[in-house]
Structure 1
Amino acid sequence: MASVTFTNVSKKFGEFIAVADFNLEVRDKEFLVLLGPSGCGKTTTMRMVAGLEEATSGDIYIDAERINGVLPKYRDVAMVFQSYALYPHLSVEDNIGYPLKIRKVPPAEYKRRIAEVARRVELDTMLSRLPKELSGGQRQRVALARAIVRTPRVFLMDEPLSNLDAKLRTQMRAELKHLQHELQVTTIYVTHDQIEAMTLAHRVAVMNKGVIEQLGTPREIYNDPRTLFVAGFIGSPPMNLIPGEVTNGVFVRAGLRVAGLGRANISSAVLGVRPEDVHAAGAEDADVNLVAPIYSVELTGENTLVSLQLGGQLMTLRADKNFAGQIDQRIGVKVATDRVFLFDGGTQYRVDF
């Protein structure tokens, strides 16, 4: 298989810098996710690997081979696009086999490889159908099969699940993860969906404005965010990020008081705490960090999301599914002090305490 290495790679469109001084090694057989909002440079980065965009500066390697300037057809990568990009007049079999046809694979080998990959993605009973006769999930599996049948050095996947409904996305995530484990092919996957990143990746590169804000395993990214951007982007619902002031290790903002933050003194601080680390309590309890009115109550099935009004913004906590609070009811809140994060509002970086 193959590793993919970016060394000081930049990409400009006129004066606009889409990717800036990008350095990353995607390990052999790794499933790496490029995660970030629209316009952060993740798709441009992938397209440079595919050869659909040329780097303005820097070097891109697959193993030891520098691929800058190498034509796409000679890079031995397979790309799955956001749109299925299937040939509407060709059957499932012919769509899957098209990459083999243009490489003039012998007929017996052609049939064998199509049958094998169709079985892997559970399309072996649909080979004679046209794309219009398939569901969205089945069409996406055809696109995946067309990439897999080539056995490339690298898979490139550009938001392949974004056109599917929620149930199909969940199903296809499981299929993708199992396929990558089975095939052991280096995979670069682009998405703005942090749930996809958390569930699929061996490692996640969180991108913002053309640079990597943080690189790590999904658990590291979630439990140890280094910047305000990463803290707010990862998590569903997202981390509570509350601006305020820290004096001698005590954070204060609009009725919220959290002590035990070392000896920190920050005039433009941001306190970060995830909803599962905020707990409902009685308004009369002596050791609560905040008493505030309920703004909304949302039952999600396994638990209840409770939003509180806090100085012009909302603070969310994850309560038990049987939580019975009502809108405008004042409740107490206890914050797990050992699970809070402190950020400098100026530098945007986390402050250790």
Structure 2
Amino acid sequence: MASVRFERVTKKFGEFVAVHDFDLEIRDKEFLVLLGPSGCGKTTTMRMVAGLEEATSGDIYIDADRINDVLPKYRDVAMVFQSYALYPHLTVEDNIGYPLKIRKVPPEEYKRRVSEVARRVELDTMLKRLPKELSGGQRQRVALARAIVRTPRVFLMDEPLSNLDAKLRTQMRAELKHLQHELQVTTIYVTHDQIEAMTLANRVAVMNKGVIEQLGTPREIYNDPRTLFVAGFIGSPSMNLIPGEVKDGVFESAGLRVGGAGRVTIPRAVLGVRPEDALVTAADDAQANLVAPIYSVELTGENTLVSLQLGGRLMTLRADKNFAGQIDQPAGVKIARDRMFLFDADTERRVDFKPEG
């Protein structure tokens, strides 16, 4: 197995900087997710490991080996793409075994390795089928098996689940996580889907505009966002971000007033509240932090999403599945004070904040 290390790596396309001064170490056997919106540099970063893109500056290592000038075929990495990229005229068995065939692996070992990998991804009864006879999820498992059969030092996965429907994505996430646990191969996984990142990763690197905004475990990223971008990007529904200002340590906005920022003044501030960290109450609740009219009520099954019209924007909260409020009816909001986040809108960094009174 192997670790992967980036040291001050920059990648430019002409004048456009796709990845800037990038430092990251991916530990041996780790499942690391590069997460971010389209154009943030995550796929370019992974392609530099594969050798499909050349770093403009900086160094990339697999273990102690600097690989910048190593040809892709000698890097011992396996890549799974968004598209299945299967050979339509070859059977499942031949698609899986193709990397072994071109390496001229002896027939007995070829058969053993293909059979073992097919069993691991539950394709052992489908080895004689053609790709056109498979479902989308089965085709993606063939693509995974073809990467696994090589036993590479590093797996690279570029949004491999994005072509699947919601049910298959859920199933394949579980299979991927279990496979990586079994195989113990260092894995770099690229996605814009924060649910995939949260469920699969040992650690998540949240990227924006070619740099890492925050690196940590899924729990750390969710519970302790360091920047405004991370706070708004992670979570479904996303964190409520309420613009306002801080005067002498007190945040004020749209009927909401909360102290706890020391003695600082921030002309443009943002208060962050996750949907599950606030309670919808009666409009006349004396403990409510604010009152606003209900804009929409959406039953999701296990709970209800309630959106309130707050100062020209919506504030979304999770309520009990039996919530019975009506649109345009006023409702109170009681926010968990130890779960508020305060950001400076200009620097986009989090500010020390201990809500009070």
Matched, 1:124 2:124: yes
| Aligned position for 2:247 | 247
1:169-318 equivalence runs, <5 A:
169-318=169-318
CA deviation vs aligned residue, 1:225-261 (integer Å, no higher than 9, x gap): 0100000000000000111012233221122223344
Per-residue deviation, 1:337: 1.3
| Aligned position for 2:16 | 16
Greater mean alpha carbon deviation, residues 254-263 or residues 274-283: 254-263
CA distance in 1, matches of 2:100, 2:293: 63
| Aligned position for 1:162 | 162
CA distance in 2, matches of 1:286, 1:248: 25
Q: Partner of 2:305: helix, strand, or coil?
A: strand
| Aligned position for 1:6 | 6
Matched, 1:106 2:106: yes
Q: Partner of 2:351: helix, strand, or coil?
A: coil
CA distance in 1, matches of 2:20, 2:164: 32
Q: Which runs of 5+ in 2 are unaligned?
A: none
Q: Partner of 1:86: helix, strand, or coil?
A: coil
CA distance in 2, matches of 1:263, 1:134: 64
CA distance in 2, matches of 1:197, 1:133: 31
1:23-172 equivalence runs, <5 A:
23-172=23-172
Aligned amino acid, residue 13 of structure 2:
F
CA distance in 2, matches of 1:260, 1:320: 30
The answer to whether the 8 A contact 1:259-1:337 is kept is no
CA distance in 2, matches of 1:265, 1:12: 39
CA distance in 1, matches of 2:285, 2:232: 30
Aligned amino acid, residue 136 of structure 1:
G
The answer to whether the 8 A contact 2:261-2:351 is kept is no
CA deviation vs aligned residue, 1:153-197 (integer Å, no higher than 9, x gap): 000000000000000000000000000000000000000000000
CA distance in 2, matches of 1:134, 1:213: 40
CA distance in 1, matches of 2:28, 2:343: 35
Per-residue deviation, 1:267: 1.4
The share of aligned pairs that are identical, in percent, is 87
Aligned amino acid, residue 327 of structure 2:
I
Q: Partner of 1:334: helix, strand, or coil?
A: strand
Greater mean alpha carbon deviation, residues 220-229 or residues 278-287: 278-287
The answer to whether the 8 A contact 2:244-2:252 is kept is yes
CA distance in 2, matches of 1:260, 1:55: 45
Q: Partner of 2:298: helix, strand, or coil?
A: strand
Q: Partner of 1:176: helix, strand, or coil?
A: helix
Per-residue deviation, 1:262: 3.8
The answer to whether the 8 A contact 1:157-1:190 is kept is yes
CA distance in 1, matches of 2:249, 2:134: 60
CA distance in 2, matches of 1:288, 1:259: 15
| Aligned position for 2:342 | 342
CA distance in 2, matches of 1:351, 1:258: 14
CA distance in 1, matches of 2:331, 2:258: 17
Per-residue deviation, 1:312: 0.9
Q: Closer, same or farther in 2 for the Cα pair 1:264/1:298, shift >3 Å? A: farther
The answer to whether the 8 A contact 1:260-1:337 is kept is no
Q: Partner of 2:350: helix, strand, or coil?
A: coil
The answer to whether the 8 A contact 1:258-1:337 is kept is no
Q: Which runs of 5+ in 1 are unaligned?
A: none
Matched, 1:326 2:326: yes
The answer to whether the 8 A contact 1:227-1:343 is kept is yes
CA distance in 1, matches of 2:323, 2:174: 32
Q: TM-score, normalised by structure 2?
A: 0.98
CA distance in 2, matches of 1:15, 1:249: 42
CA distance in 2, matches of 1:37, 1:21: 19
Q: TM-score, normalised by structure 1?
A: 0.99
CA distance in 1, matches of 2:53, 2:18: 12
CA distance in 2, matches of 1:188, 1:285: 49
CA distance in 2, matches of 1:223, 1:74: 40
